Amino acid sequence: MQNKECCTPQKNRINYQKELEKLLASLEAERISGNGKKKRLLLHACCAPCSSYVLEYLREKFEITVLYYNPNITEREEYEKRSAELKRLARQMNQESAGAGQPEKGSVLTEPAALPSGFILVEEGEWEPQRFFEVSKGLENLPEGGERCFRCYELRLRETARIAAERGFDYFTTTLTISPLKNAEKLNEIGALMAEEYGVAFLPSDFKKKNGYKRSVELSEKYGLYRQDYCGCIFSRAERDRRKADGQPTDAVTVLRKAEL
Ligand code: SF4
């Protein structure tokens, strides 16, 4: 009888954090030996807490424009709240950074010309929840983490790739891999597919690694950021309500640890 284990092909899991580190090192070497300019990155962001660590980590390495494009957030009030927090975070980080010029009071500049290096721009996409409902049709009752979420990732990454290609960015990526509840492998696979389709490079990531998620919690406290306790769509909100009613935890880390037991 054959030993099943030795004959089952093992899928080599890619360490996307390591991939990112390798790429960052080669971009830095290229920058030093070249014209000294940083590459331009279009960073899809879901909310301020997830963006905090990613911006801290990447802002010295790229010229970053943040794209808030989240048609998955069903309620307008919630959508606006997350958007306002993200803009407030960018404003505070810009004001804090040494040597950066001060943005106009209360504004988020959208004109990249003449901005100091490291200045974070924020742009907002359309709020179009009908697009989310179209892609999630028939998958409404799936739990978070399944096929509905993969389509939701694609919807947001596709729009980011499209804009990145149209506007001549060097790279695009998303903050979503920082969440322990998101599938980083799937996000990176979809990112690579979108890169091919739109002809713009995707920055691989697994931002939760190297204490990225932990750091985002610390930064959220530092900036007093609103931390939502559900992902965004009405289906995840219903899941959150069920958990609450059952007396179960709703924060990402506790939910994940319980699921792993
Ligand atoms: S749970 Fe989150 S990722 Fe999944 S479909 Fe809803 S909003 Fe999208």
112-159: pLDDT as tens digits: 555 778 899 999 999 999 999 999 999 999 999 999 999 999 999 999
**How many CA atoms lie within 13 Å of 190's alpha carbon, on the beta-carbon side?**
24
Residue 206: which H helix or E strand, with range? none
Coil/strand/helix, residue 33: helix
Query: What type of residue is 68?
Result: Y
Pick from 1-5, 80-84, 88-92, 254-258: least confident: 1-5
Mean pLDDT of all residues in 209-230: 96
Percentages (nearest 5) of helix, strand, coil residues in the chain? 50, 10, 40
CA distances from 249 to 42, 117, 148, 245, 246 (A): 34, 41, 22, 10, 9
Which domains are present in the chain? 14-228 (3.40.50.620)
What's the whole-model pTM score?
0.88
Query: To the nearest whole percent, how much of the chain has pLDDT over 70?
Result: 84
User: Ligand 1 centroid to 144 CA: how many Å?
Assistant: 6
Q: Which residues does residue 67 pair with via DSSP β-bridges, in sequence order?
A: 44, 123
User: Ligand 1 centroid to 235 CA: how many Å?
Assistant: 8
Other Cβ atoms less than 10 A from the Cβ of 6: the count is 6
9-18, 164-173, 243-252: which is most confident: 164-173
Burial group, residue 165, by CB count within 10 angstroms (0-12, 13-18, 19+) = middle
| Pocket lining: 231 vs ligand 1, CB cutoff 6 Å | yes
DSSP-derived pairing of the beta strands 39-45 and 121-124: unpaired
CA R_g for the chain: 19
Other Cβ atoms less than 10 A from the Cβ of 166: the count is 10
User: Ligand 1 centroid to 61 CA: how many Å?
Assistant: 29
pLDDT score of 59 more than 80: yes
- Six-digit token string for 184: 């980083």
- What pLDDT was estimated at residue 2? 44
DSSP-derived pairing of the beta strands 121-124 and 201-202: unpaired
| Pocket lining: 72 vs ligand 1, CB cutoff 6 Å | yes
Query: What type of residue is 192?
Result: A
Mean pLDDT of all residues in 21-38: 95
| Pocket lining: 148 vs ligand 1, CB cutoff 6 Å | yes
Mean pLDDT of all residues in 204-217: 97
- What pLDDT was estimated at residue 68? 98
| Pocket lining: 89 vs ligand 1, CB cutoff 6 Å | no
DSSP-derived pairing of the beta strands 39-45 and 62-68: parallel
Q: Which residue minimizes the CA distance to atom 6 of ligand 1?
A: 233
User: Ligand 1 centroid to 247 CA: how many Å?
Assistant: 22
Q: Probe ligand 1: pick from 144, 151, 237, 239, max atoms within 8 Å of CB?
A: 144
| Pocket lining: 179 vs ligand 1, CB cutoff 6 Å | no
Distance between CA atoms of residues 252 and 249, nearest Å: 8
Q: Probe ligand 1: pick from 47, 72, 176, max atoms within 8 Å of CB?
A: 72
Coil/strand/helix, residue 41: strand
Burial group, residue 145, by CB count within 10 angstroms (0-12, 13-18, 19+) = middle
| Pocket lining: 144 vs ligand 1, CB cutoff 6 Å | yes
Distance between CA atoms of residues 237 and 20, nearest Å: 32
Query: To the nearest whole percent, how much of the chain has pLDDT over 90?
Result: 77
